[in-house]
Amino acid sequence: MRMRCAILGSGNIGTDLMMKLLKGTDASGSGQTPLEVVALVGIDPASDGLARAKTHGIEGPHEGPQWILDHADDIDMLFDATSAYVHVRHYKQYAEAGIVAVDLTPAARGPKVIAAVNLTEHLDAPNINMVTCGGQATTPMVYAVRRAVESLPYAEMVSTVSSKSAGPGTRQNIDEFTKTTSTALREIGGADLSKAIIILNPAEPPIMMRNTVFAGLPEGTDHDAVLASVYAMETDVQHYVPGYRLKNPPVIEEGPFHTPGGTVPHRAVVLLEVEGAGDYLPPYAGNLDIMTAAAQRVGEAIATHKAGVSA
Active-site residue, selected from the candidate residues 17, 19, 133, 294:
133
The 8-class DSSP code of residue 27 comes to T
Whether 159 contacts 196, CB under 8 Å:
yes
Neighbours of 111 (CB within 10 A): 14
Sort 235 into a burial class: Cβ within 10 Å, 0-12 / 13-18 / 19+: exposed
Residue with Cβ nearer other proteins (170 or 296): 170
Nearer to other proteins, 103 or 156 (CB): 156
Strand blocks (E) in 26-65: 35-41
CB of 268 to other proteins, least distance (A): 10
If the CB atoms of residues 58 and 290 are measured against other proteins, the closer one turns out to be 290
287 phi/psi in degrees, rounded to 5: -65, -35
CB burial class (10 A; 0-12, 13-18, 19+) of residue 201? Answer: middle
Other CB atoms within a 10 A radius of the CB of residue 93 amount to 15
Give the nearer residue to other proteins in terms of CB position, either 203 or 307. Answer: 203
Contact positions vs other proteins (CB under 8 A): 156, 158, 160, 163, 168, 171-172, 174-175, 177-179, 195, 197-203, 207, 210, 212, 214, 216, 247-249, 251, 253-254, 257-260, 267, 269, 271
Task: Report, in Å, the least distance between residue 40 CB and other proteins.
Answer: 25
| Residue 194 C-beta: closest distance to other proteins, Å | 10
| 5 is an active site residue | no
Alpha-carbon Rg for the chain, nearest whole angstrom, is 19
User: What is the closest distance, in whole angstroms, from the C-beta atom of residue 197 to other proteins in the complex?
Assistant: 5
Least distance from other proteins to the Cβ atom of residue 212, Å: 4
What is the rounded (10 degree) CA torsion for 225, 231, 236, 238? 170
Q: Which is nearer to other proteins, 228 or 269 (CB)?
A: 269
Question: Alpha-carbon distance 126 to 235, whole Å?
Answer: 30
β strands within 19-139, DSSP E:
35-41, 77-80, 100-103, 127-129
Name which of 161 and 293 has its Cβ closer to other proteins: 161
* Percent composition of the chain: helix, strand, coil (DSSP 3-state, to 5): 40, 25, 35
* Residue 118: CB minimum distance to other proteins, A: 25
Name the pairing type of β-strands 154-162 and 209-217.
antiparallel
The sign of the dihedral angle between the CA atoms of 214, 288, 292, 27 is negative
Which residue numbers are catalytic? 133
